[in-house]
Structure 1
Amino acid sequence: MGDGDRRWLVEFCAALKAERERAGLTQRQLAQRLQLSEPTISALFNARTKKAPSWERVRAILTACRSETHPRPMPEDGPVASRLWHEDQDEYLHRWRARHAALEIASQRTTQEQGASRPAASEAAHPEGVPSMSVHFVGRDREMGELRERLTTAGRGPQLLTAVRGWPGVGKTTVAAQLAVDRTFIESAFPDGVLWASVPDGSHVTAALASWIRRLGLPRPELGATSGELTSILRSALRDRRVLLIVDDVWNPAHVVPFNVGGPGCAILITTRLPQVAHALAARPADIYPLGLLSEEAALELLRRLAPEVVHHHRDESRALVGTLERLPLAVRVAGQMLSEDWANGWGIGDMLAQLREGSALLAAGAPVDRAADNHTIPTVRALLRMSTDRLDRQTRLRFAFLGAFASQPAAFDVEAMADVWGVDDAVPAIRVLVARGLLEPSGDGWFTMHALLVLHAKALLREGK
């Protein structure tokens, strides 16, 4: 990096630090939200880094700051701010992304001129498109090992699909992302790298396919090329390559079809909260991998990493809390962030523990920053759950809500009990829909369970009459 670029980086980091201060966040609070170490954040804000921070990290920082404030007008406190900041942060992000790309190209050119070999694709710090990784990834050693084995086996013959499914917030995307950045595994099983796409509503399928073509270094397709034409290009290019294809957050099996482009050396992994999607895509029931909840010890360790002082001084209450939250990673992460903030502010945590056990505070809280939406806003936990219930017809949604009023803990219902709650002779059709939507889970012998977080959501829907 030349002197001019170095000066630009120092100015940029100073402006980024000012944005944190305007949001009213301490360095420690921001580090906790981003699940990074405080020294890492400090080095970034004070420009003690050898290269520009990644696009994903800049976006995560601004997302965390935006959750505290609305976009601000361009400050008038100096030439640096005038040059680097724009009243529309989306425009700013666009400019930063372009600038960062230019710096990366300059850095690669310098490396090549010095005769150094370019790092292999599998050595990249973060494959493009993969969500930012959580440093609080615990309790999944067995699952990671089983998925590696499945994918490696798939890569030895005709391409097979593995569908990871589970409750909302159980960590499907996180597990998939951990696989994508596992250098040892990827270098061994898929030396040609990882291609990642997220298709929650199917609106970006063509753009994602074009992105895969670009990442593979293929010629740019013609403007207006259809998804079918892009799929053909990818299928031809991947015929003799060994690539791991990951399609995340699938709600419609039709959205996966264009991405099923790998040859015999490739494997494809999809994540979905919907059992009906998993069954539609999997060639065999064995190709569906149900991702379960954390163990009690893993859930407590996750809470400890997020709120160490709280768990140290209130271990019994903390253990009871993860039990109340039924060891769901999303719920534990949000609870840990809230407890950590209260502890850092010097407030007593008794009230917060009670509110978290009751559930209202948890539903209203912002999700972890790695769940940020495409518009760089952080949804609430409840908004993430509504993605499932908003797709139900009103009658089925009300039946789901009524279950919340009658749920114990753990929430378990048999067919007869649900028929009584709903006042119907045959509850099976509605049960089928709720199971297909991942809102009920069969537990055997005609019984079905509902996770505690979904019970809280059901009660909230009932209060609203929805």
Structure 2
Amino acid sequence: MEHRGKMEPQPRLKLTEARRARALSQQDVAERLGTTHVNVSRWERGITTPSPYFCRKLCRLFGKTSQELELVRASFPVTDANESPPEDHVVRADHVPTMPSTFPTREPDVQAAIDPVIPAASGAQLVGREEVLARIRNMVCTGHQGEMIALHGLPGIGKTSLAQALAHVHTIRARFCDGILWAALGPHPDMTGLLNRWGELLGLSATQLSSLDGNDARARALHNVIGTRSLLLIIDDVWRVEDVLALKVGGPHCAYVMTTRFPEIATSVSVDGVIHVDELGEQESMVLLQVLAPQVIEREPEKANELIQAVGGLPLALTLIGNYVRKQAESGQPRRITEALQRLESAKERLHLSVSTDADKAQAQPNRHSHQSLQSVIAMTDQQFDEPTRAAFYTLSILPSKPESFSEEVALAVTSCQVEVLDTLVDSGILESHGTNRYTLHQTIRDYAYDRLLVTSGADAAYHTLVTYVVSLLESQSNSYDILEQERAVIAIALKQADALNMQSELVRAVIAFVPYCQVRGYYAQAEQYLLRAEQVATRLNNQSVLTTIYLSMGQILQQQGKFNQAEAIFQQGIALARQFHDLEQVSAFLRDLGSIAWKVGNYAQAEAYLEEGLDIARKCNDKKLMGSLLKELGPVSSLRGKYSQAEAYFQEGLQIVLQLEDYEQTAVTLLMNLGVTAGQQGNHSKAAQYFREGLELARQIGHSQRISALLANLGASEMELGHYVQAEIYFQEGLTVARRIGHREWISILLLNLGQTAVVQRQLQLAENYLNEALTLARQIGRTQVIAKALYEYGNVQLEQQCLAKAQLAFGEMISIVPTEDQELNILARYGLARVAAIQGRMSEAYRLGTQCEQELEAMGHGSAVEVTLWLQSVMK
């Protein structure tokens, strides 16, 4: 409960900073001073003031003066009976020292006019604001005389706190030696009373003031009496340009600082002196909460971070939260702390937290509520809007808040308003511009507007409009990945609300249109969740055609996550349905993806059968896109079977098709990559790298995360073959980072394998073994036969280098047992490994027999590794 006549505690930030700079805990300080950590905590929080005895000890401990540690100012009026020695005391409210009445002046007989209504500055108000306060101070002290410094920002952002702190800075008071005047305006200021009060401070008598006719005459009188005095005039909470202009009464040696929530007013009255006050960052927000409620925040850092995110670093919100949880903690009951934190998870509860305005503030800001809350602060702006603007403001709350943004197009679509209404909201400071034709809405502002939208029962209608808009956007811009990326948060809200509003048809249409983008960007988990929900809806609607599309997308998502068995089962279910309804294009697409899985798990004959059947159907349907995608799958199968010329023919035909279609996704996806692989297998690594770079550039343009990781893997392999090991490792590490980010287990395992190979070449054998073991574990999990075999081969090479012949022989032997007969390259490499084991063991005839077989078969295939085997045979025969 608030108590009248008492002050809020003013945390001693400098004391806390001094302790943390020495890496000391409160208990450490207590032990060094001979007191308790409770006393230290109370000093830092401003609840009690250390006695002169402990002040001296604190100053010696930290090597600072009492002023630098903020030990000589008023504290929260609570007596601490537990503090010792007994000379420690508490300064009560009626003992608060007043500001000095005089300051250095040019003329000793002239008294400085320090406005008594200037609010007392609190240390907590300056957390995270040191840099902007220094900037304001420098601008005021070094700027042109008469220039207006205009601070603007969101309601509750701390503009007034900065102005208060500025008024108490020693250098400011020294610079403006004739005094500081303060005016708190608000939406309905008493300009006559304010001008009269300033006149009295400046020496005008009541008789003189009463004789003046109107505020213009009062302003002229103030200007005349100020003359050449050096004054700082602070005009807080400006709502109209004419109000602030009416108070520009200073002379040539005066300066002005004003605060406003309206950016338009700030730019209207100042050119070079406009300062936008931003929200606090996460770290600064956490420090502020720690200052206000250290015990709670240290015990519940995760909850504290969630609250920081929820209120978007708004200082007023953080202050209200910090004060509230501190008061609950003072009860000593953990239950009350837990309940308080749970209560603050509600946006409505946060909005209605309030703090009583003390007497000084009430006098300085008569237009403010006696109980200040987020709700009341934002409502002051809301009350100035007309009905159309207010309705648009409330409706915008269905869109995502910071740090996300939304386009002007979606804002106009959901509000059905004119663009001028958005301009009004921007000019009011409620809506913030975020680049060209984009906007953001602060979290707390959004919470307020959404609460009002619910009161007006307008949420369902607004969400219905949003869903309709998003479905249209997705279907018209399905390949515009940059647009969909910008609106991803909006789309996520629309999909959720389509489900909640039972807009079943719209939900399915939106999911089908959105999933291809998710695949390209690597958002597999989200896509899988959307597809599962769409499948449930389509099954309920008995829409078989839609179900086949969902099964195709779902299987692709599973395949991209390395879940080959699950993907194959979904594809089989889908192709059966497509055959049942004679949907030939869908049948061809399912055959393509079944073929892709078959060759990845080592079933080349089945893969070729699937793909050739699919290509035949695609040719009959004259579906160029399907033809291109089937050709790029047939290429690797031919390549794995040693038919390099056939593989290249498939790739070249497919490349021509997708180039004609301008299907850059397919081009970057695998055709250029596969052409590079084929060139590399034939020993032309420079040409391979050229293909990979071209593909990587296209993949980056469309933001295709999976293909970026794949192309980086292959480009790194080419660089390694060319002897550029450092560059190869850079490519592999970048590719691994992308693959891990999107959770693509297949390419994670391949890139780990590549890094293992790089480490082998650079003789970092232990590092290589670590990479290869991780690659093997992952490849075994997903059943990727080729990767398992290649990892075993490299693992065997590492063991050979370390003369661990038994391990090497086991690795090469396992390769032979799992590699399909059709995969000539891997079979040859496995036997080549066994040949080298035999040579080291002295079984030279066996080594020569196996090595000669490998050499002949590789030469027949035109494989680049034939040279390596030939050189090895020559070394063995010496």
Establish whether TM, by shorter chain, passes 0.5: yes
Find the aligned partners of 2:7 and 2:164 in 1 and give their Cα distance.
Answer: 22
Partners of 2:109 and 2:342 lie apart in 1 by 54
Contact 1:163 1:278 in 2 (8 A): yes
The residue that corresponds to 2:187 in the other structure is 201
| Counterparts in 2 of 1:215 and 1:120: CA distance versus 1, 3 Å | closer
User: SS in structure 2 opposite 1:336?
Assistant: helix
Give the one of 370, 375, 380 matched to 2:373: 380
Q: d(CA) in 1 for partners of 2:156 and 2:402? A: 19
Instruction: Say if 1:163 and 1:272, in contact at 8 Å, map to a contact too.
Output: yes
Partner of 2:422: 431
Counterparts in 2 of 1:452-463, with a 5 A limit? Answer: 452-463=443-454
What one-letter code is carried by the residue in structure 2 that aligns with 1:385?
Answer: I
- Partner residue in 2 for 1:183: 170
Shift of 1:49: 6.1
Tell me, yes or no, if structure 1 residue 219 matches structure 2 residue 205. Answer: yes
Establish whether residue 440 from structure 1 lines up as the match of residue 431 from structure 2: yes
Deviation, 1:351, is 3.8
Give the 3 Å change call, closer, same or farther, for CA 342–52 of structure 1 in structure 2: closer
Which amino acid in the other structure matches residue 270 of structure 1? Answer: M
8 Å Cα contact 2:328/2:336 also seen in 1: yes
Does the C-alpha gap of structure 1 residues 31 and 423 become closer, same or farther in structure 2, counting only changes over 3 Å? Answer: closer
Pairing 1:275–2:249 present: no
SS at match of 2:371: coil
Instruction: Give 1:197's aligned amino acid.
Output: A
- Could you say which residue in structure 2 is the equivalent of 1:254? 242
2:351 aligned residue: 363
Tell me which residue corresponds to 2:287.
Answer: 301
Partner residue of 2:316 out of 293, 317, 330: 330
Check conservation: 2:177, 2:230, Cα contact below 8 A: yes
Query: Which shifted more, 201-210 or 164-173?
Result: 201-210
Mean alpha-carbon deviation: is it higher for 31-40 or for 380-389? 31-40
The alpha-carbon deviation at position 202 of structure 1 amounts to 4.1
2:372 and 2:390 map into 1 onto residues whose CA distance is: 21
> Residue 349 of structure 1: SS of its match in structure 2?
helix
User: Displacement, 1:119?
Assistant: 12
Flag the structure with more relative contact order, 1 or 2, with Cα contacts below 8 A and sequence separation at least 6.
Answer: 1
Tell me: CA distance 1:56–1:403, structure 2 relative to 1, closer, same or farther (3 Å): farther
- Superposition deviation, residue 141 in structure 1: 1.2
* Separation (CA, whole Å) in 2 of partners of 1:339 and 1:231: 46
One-letter identity of the residue aligned with 2:47: S
Map of 1:9 onto structure 2: none
Q: 1:149 is matched with which residue?
A: 138
Structure 1 residue 356 displacement after superposition: 2.2
Q: Compared with structure 1, are the counterparts of its residues 24 and 293 closer, same or farther at alpha carbon in structure 2 (3 Å cutoff)?
A: closer
- Per-residue Cα deviation, 1:97-140 (whole angstroms, up to 9, x for no partner): xxxxxxx99xx9xxxxxxxx999748x7xx41212322312111
Matched residue, 2:405: 412
Alpha-carbon distance between aligned partners in 2 of 1:446 and 1:239, rounded to the nearest angstrom: 47
Contact 1:442 1:448 in 2 (8 A): yes
Deviation at 1:323, TM superposition (A): 2.1
Equivalent residues of 1:411, 1:451 under 8 A apart: no
2:736 aligned residue:
none
Kindly indicate whether the alpha-carbon contact (under 8 Å) linking 1:399 and 1:422 is maintained by their aligned counterparts in 2: yes
- Aligned partner of 1:73 in structure 2 is none
Question: Greater shift after overlay, 289-298 or 161-170?
Answer: 289-298
For 1:356 and 1:119, locate their aligned partners in 2 and report how far apart those are by CA, in whole Å: 52
| Residues in 2 aligned to 1:420 and 1:49: alpha-carbon distance in whole angstroms | 59
CA contact (8 A) 1:36 1:135 kept: no
Aligned to 1:465: 456
Residues 50/400 of structure 1: CA separation in 2 closer, same or farther (3 Å cut)? closer
Shift of 1:368: 6.0
What's the offset of the Cα at 1:379?
3.2
Residue of structure 2 in register with 1:140 after alignment: 129
Structure with the higher fraction of residues in helix conformation: 2
- Offset at 1:327? 0.7
Question: Which string of whole-angstrom CA distances, capped at 9 and with x for unpartnered residues, describes residues 73-114 of structure 1?
Answer: xxxxxxxxxxxxxxxxxxxxxxxxxxxxxxx99xx9xxxxxx
- SS of the aligned residue for 2:192 comes to helix
Give the secondary structure class of the aligned counterpart of 1:289. strand
Pick closer, same or farther for the CA change 1:153–1:355 going to 2, 3 Å: same
Match of 1:129 in 2: 117
2:388 maps to 395
Residue pair 1:56, 1:132 contacting (<8 A) in 2 also: no
SS of residue paired to 1:383:
helix
Closer/same/farther in 2, CA of residues 25 and 49 from structure 1, 3 Å limit: closer
Change (3 A) 1:24 1:185: closer
Letter in 2 for 1:314: E
| 1:444 counterpart SS class | coil
**1:243 aligned onto 2:234:** no
> How big is the shift at 1:367?
3.8
1:422 and 2:415 matched: yes
Deviations 1:277-314 (A, max 9, x none): 212222x2x22111111122211111111111011111
Q: Deviation at 1:42?
A: 3.6
Partner of 2:200, secondary structure, is helix
Q: Structure 1 26/400 Cα, relative in aligned 2: closer, same or farther at 3 Å? A: closer
Contact map agreement 1:367 1:381 (CA 8 A) in 2: no
Q: In the alignment, is residue 166 of structure 1 matched against residue 149 of structure 2? A: no
Across the two proteins, how many residue pairs are aligned to each other? 377
After TM superposition, give the deviation of residue 417 of structure 1 in Å: 0.9
Give TM-score, length-normalised by structure 1: 0.73
Q: Partner of 2:832 in structure 1? A: none
Give distance in 2, aligned partners of 1:218 and 1:435.
42
Scaled by the length of structure 2, what TM-score is found? 0.40
Q: Which residue of 2 aligns with 1:4?
A: none
Contact 2:10 2:123 in 1 (8 A): no
Letter in 1 for 2:177: P
| SS of residue paired to 1:357 | coil
Which amino acid in the other structure matches residue 453 of structure 1?
Answer: T
For the residues of structure 2 that align with 1:309 and 1:51, how far apart are their CA atoms?
A: 26
**Aligned amino acid, residue 413 of structure 1:** F
Output the amino acid matched with 1:459: Y
Report the secondary structure of 1:194's partner residue.
strand
Per-residue Cα deviation, 1:318-371 (whole angstroms, up to 9, x for no partner): 123212211110010011111112222223433432432331111111146366
Contact 2:401 2:441 in 1 (8 A): no
SS across alignment from 2:423: helix
2:350 partner letter = L
Quick one: distance in 2 between partners of 1:408 and 1:231? 44
Q: Which residue of 2 aligns with 1:321?
A: 307
Question: Does the 8 A contact of 1:31 with 1:38 survive in 2?
Answer: no
Contact 2:199-2:209 at 8 Å conserved across structures: no
Q: How far 1:419 sits from its partner (Å)? A: 1.4
Residue type of the partner of 1:454?
I
Q: Post-superposition shift, 1:219?
A: 3.3
Q: CA deviation at 1:162?
A: 1.2
Distance 1:376 1:402 in 2: 27
Which amino acid letter does the alignment assign opposite residue 152 of structure 1? C
Residues 25 and 269 of structure 1: CA distance in aligned 2, closer, same or farther (over 3 Å): closer
1:264 aligned residue (252, 272, 286): 252
Q: CA 1:409–1:223 in 2, change beyond 3 Å: closer, same or farther?
A: closer
**How many Å apart are 1:238 and its aligned residue?**
2.0
Query: If you compute each CA radius of gyration, which structure gives the higher value, 1 or 2?
Result: 2
Task: Quote the Cα distance in structure 1 between the aligned partners of 2:402 and 2:129.
Answer: 25
Cα separation, 1, equivalents of 2:250 and 2:354: 37
Partners of 1:305 and 1:205 lie apart in 2 by 38
Residues 1:400 and 1:263: Cα distance change in structure 2 (over 3 Å): same
- Matched ranges for 1:95-106 at <5 A: none
